[in-house]
């Protein structure tokens, strides 16, 4: 790196960050960045440059302060895992031991899942309220026209036109879809609330130890298949015979849905702002966003080690079709996720980042 002492400014220039960032490293990792002299300006030993580079790189990988501290202690002999200056509390006189029932704490991932589930329920309820207000407005208009209560459809069409009948039918279908989604979410919440925490963890994260340390499942050789053959196969999958297909296991539907960037990083398909986002969340978002005739039909199809999620718009004048292939994967940090490995839009292969763009479009971003 260098064989001379360095200032804040020289460290920041070397790392390509601001001096404020270097100072924040010193605050977050006291005792880790060796100081050569405390005059003005403060100067650091050459080893300080190596430590700062490692801190910058590990932060860029998304590691926490605690994780970075542990890694630094493993790489540099003078750094300890505990924070310097912290001393063990003095021993206190032993007090009578009182047995207290053990408190079961939910994991961070499980808490995030329940939070996203609650947000989806709130959004669905708001959508349902909006549709109800529209129906009330229409009923008021019908009352003013003398058509309140049971009426014959023929006089109604003669007065309002046949388009009104289609609008009523679409709004009724939308209400039914929203009601089904809300009912399903309520049932999920009730099951989570009533089940013991240990059982919830085993259901959501079952099979985690089975995948740890295994080699990743090899993907099909995409280069050996021409683009035309791939598109044809995807079209055939989307337009397969309308035979009911079983959904994947619930564990797959609740895993975080991610894709790999060009740098190999695993990123959530809904972005950092929305947090943990699963296939179940995608299904709920589609139900809240699209109503007949733009509503998406959903179908699942197993393919080797993974699953295709097929989305079609059979009633739309300008339909879009999505074929999303995902596999259960263990990230380098040990997290179990559903990784989107392939994506086709209207039969054309696209980078999985397009799924992120589609979700952002639905959210109005």
Question: Among 107, 61, 146, which residue's Cα sits nearest to residue 332?
Answer: 61
pLDDT of res. 91? 41
pLDDT of res. 93? 44
CB 303 within 8 A of CB 292: no
**What whole-number distance in Å separates Cα of residue 44 and Cα of residue 37?**
7
**What whole-number distance in Å separates Cα of residue 249 and Cα of residue 133?**
37
CB 351 within 8 A of CB 343: yes
pLDDT of res. 160? 53
In which element (H, E) is residue 130 found? helix 108-144
The full DSSP string for 84-123 is TT--PPPP---------PPPP---HHHHHHHHHHHHHHHH
**What whole-number distance in Å separates Cα of residue 250 and Cα of residue 257?**
13
In which element (H, E) is residue 19 found? helix 19-28
The full DSSP string for 221-279 is -GGGS-HHHHHHHHHHHHT------PPPPHHHHHSBEEEE-TTS-EEETT-TTT-S-BH
**Mean pLDDT for back-to-back runs of 10 residues, the chain (365 residues):** 81 91 93 88 90 93 92 87 43 45 52 70 72 75 63 50 63 69 66 59 43 40 51 55 66 92 87 84 89 92 92 93 95 92 93 90 78
CB 349 within 8 A of CB 342: yes
CB atoms within 10 A of CB 37: 11
**What whole-number distance in Å separates Cα of residue 245 and Cα of residue 247?**
6
Helix and strand numbers (H, E) in the chain are 13, 9
**What whole-number distance in Å separates Cα of residue 69 and Cα of residue 49?**
16
pLDDT of res. 278? 92
CB 271 within 8 A of CB 246: no
pLDDT of res. 101? 45
Task: Copy the structure tokens of residue 20.
Answer: 């404020």
């Amino acid at each position: 790196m260098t064989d001379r002492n360095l200032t804040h400014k020289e460290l920041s220039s070397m790392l390509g960050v601001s001096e404020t960032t270097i100072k924040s490293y010193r605050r977050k990792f006291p005792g880790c960045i060796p100081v050569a002299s405390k005059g003005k300006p403060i100067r650091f030993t050459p080893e300080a440059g190596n430590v700062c580079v490692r801190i910058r790189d590990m932060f860029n990988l998304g590691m926490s302060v605690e994780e970075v501290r542990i890694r630094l202690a493993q790489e540099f002999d003078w750094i300890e895992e505990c924070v310097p200056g912290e001393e063990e509390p003095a021993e206190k006189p032993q007090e009578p031991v009182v047995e207290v029932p053990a408190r079961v704490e939910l994991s961070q991932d499980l808490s995030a899942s329940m939070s996203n589930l609650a947000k989806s329920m709130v959004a669905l309820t708001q959508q349902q309220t909006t549709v109800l207000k529209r129906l009330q407005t229409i009923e008021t208009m019908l009352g003013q026209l003398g058509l309140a209560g049971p009426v014959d459809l023929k006089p109604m069409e003669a007065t309002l036109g046949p388009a009104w009948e289609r609008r009523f039918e679409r709004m009724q279908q939308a209400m039914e879809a929203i009601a089904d989604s809300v009912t399903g979410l309520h049932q999920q919440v009730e099951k989570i609330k009533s089940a013991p925490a240990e059982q919830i963890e085993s259901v959501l994260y079952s099979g985690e130890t089975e995948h740890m340390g295994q080699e990743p499942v090899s993907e099909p050789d995409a280069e050996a298949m021409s683009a035309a053959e791939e598109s044809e196969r995807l079209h055939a999958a989307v337009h397969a015979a309308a035979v009911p297909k079983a959904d994947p296991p619930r564990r797959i539907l609740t895993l975080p849905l991610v894709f790999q960037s060009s740098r190999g990083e695993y990123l959530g398909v809904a972005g950092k702002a929305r947090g943990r986002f699963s296939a179940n969340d995608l299904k709920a978002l589609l139900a809240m966003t699209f109503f007949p005739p733009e509503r998406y039909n959903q179908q699942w199809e197993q393919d080797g080690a993974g699953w295709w999620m097929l989305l079609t718009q059979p009633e739309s004048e300008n339909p879009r079709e999505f074929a999303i292939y995902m596999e259960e994967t263990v990230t380098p940090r040990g997290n179990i996720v559903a990784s989107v490995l392939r994506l086709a839009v209207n039969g054309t292969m696209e980078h999985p980042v397009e799924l992120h763009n589609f979700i952002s479009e639905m959210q109005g971003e």
